[in-house]
């Protein structure tokens, strides 16, 4: 078994036995990794906020090529992205991002671009940027990186009719450089149409409804 080190974002975690956890990470160098962190719940002084949801960590694990479950021996916090936890909408969208990556990716399939997209969008949420705009960028670029390849053709996207403005915005969000994206303004009507469009595209690739989408809808109702 080779000892591997990589940076990774926590996608989900749950308690395992008395002091351990089972966690899923999306890593820079190995794609999705599932593993056991033994004793982590029993030593807060050593692990602190590492392994918390959304956090970026440096992990060390023994790579098992014949098993999806890895033995993670070290988990050190690199960036806790604590700004996300200051806003309920940011928490809801961050939960959505990590759940989406978990559902749409397979273990041990490296895709550094997905890792960079995920950590980049989580950092924008932590800085307090508008979450719905970040979500549209994240969804469209994730679909593209996974090879689902939706493209805008006139006033439609993958056969779904939309307004010309929405089709043009879709193409812009898919292809434009990050610096220009952050300055790009999206009208409320186009943002809503994009949201409905992306929901339809994602549904065809998801095996079940996402719990985080329900969370987002509940937050939106509270704000009305």
- Across the range 142-169, mean pLDDT stands at 74
- Across the range 205-218, mean pLDDT stands at 91
pLDDT at 17 over 80: no
Q: Write out pLDDT tens, residues 71-124.
A: 898 889 999 999 999 999 999 999 999 999 999 999 989 999 999 999 999 999
Q: What is the DSSP letter of 71?
A: E
Residues 87 and 174 in one domain: yes
Residues 61 and 163 in one domain: no
Residues 215 and 139 in one domain: yes
Can you give the pTM of this predicted structure?
0.89
Q: Which of 49, 80, 111 corresponds to the end of one domain?
A: 80
pLDDT at 150 over 60: no
Residues 105 and 189 in one domain: yes
pLDDT at 10 over 80: yes
Residues 124 and 174 in one domain: yes
Q: CA-to-CA distance for 84 and 112, rounded, in angstroms?
A: 23
Measuring CA to CA, which residue among 112, 174, 113, 172 is closest to residue 149?
174
Q: Which of 37, 60, 80 corresponds to the end of one domain?
A: 80
User: pLDDT confidence of 20, banded at 50, 70, 90?
Assistant: confident
Q: Which of 80, 106, 123 corresponds to the end of one domain?
A: 80
For residue 39, the model assigns a pLDDT of 72
Could you write out the DSSP letters of every residue in 5-57?
A: EEEEEEEEEEEETTTEEEEEEEETTTEEEEEEETTGGG-HHHHTTTT-TT-EE
Q: What is the mean pLDDT of the chain?
A: 86
The domain tally of the chain equals 2
Its domain, for residue 196, covers: 83-223
Structural contact between residues 91 and 32, judged by C-beta atoms closer than 8 angstroms: no
pLDDT at 186 over 90: no
Q: How far is CA 95 from the centre of its chain?
A: 7
Element spanning 177, H or E? none
Here the tokens at position 86 are: 């200051």
Which of 2-6, 144-148, 177-181, 204-208 reaches the highest mean pLDDT?
A: 2-6
- Which residues make Cβ contacts (< 8 Å) with residue 155, sequence separation at least 6? 161, 162, 163, 164, 167
């Amino acid at each position: 078994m080779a000892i591997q080190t990589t940076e990774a974002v926590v996608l989900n975690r749950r308690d395992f036995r008395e002091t351990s956890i089972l966690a899923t990470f999306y890593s820079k160098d190995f794609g999705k990794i599932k593993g056991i962190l033994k004793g982590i719940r029993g030593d807060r002084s050593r692990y602190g906020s590492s392994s918390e949801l959304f956090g970026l960590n440096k992990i060390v694990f023994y790579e098992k090529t014949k098993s999806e479950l890895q033995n993670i021996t070290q988990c050190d916090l690199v960036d806790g992205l604590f700004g996300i936890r200051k806003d309920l909408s940011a928490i809801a969208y961050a939960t959505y991002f990590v759940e989406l990556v978990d559902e749409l990716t397979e273990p041990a399939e490296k895709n550094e671009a997905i890792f960079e997209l995920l950590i980049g969008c989580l950092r924008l949420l932590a800085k307090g940027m508008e979450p719905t705009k970040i979500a549209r960028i994240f969804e469209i670029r994730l679909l593209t990186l996974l090879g689902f390849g939706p493209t805008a053709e006139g006033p439609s996207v993958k056969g779904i009719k939309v307004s010309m403005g929405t089709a043009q915005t879709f193409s812009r969000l898919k292809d434009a450089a990050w610096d220009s994206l952050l300055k790009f303004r999206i009208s409320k009507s186009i943002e809503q149409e994009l949201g409905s469009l992306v929901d339809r595209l994602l549904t065809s690739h998801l095996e079940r409804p996402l719990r985080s989408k329900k969370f987002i809808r509940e937050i939106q109702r509270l704000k009305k």
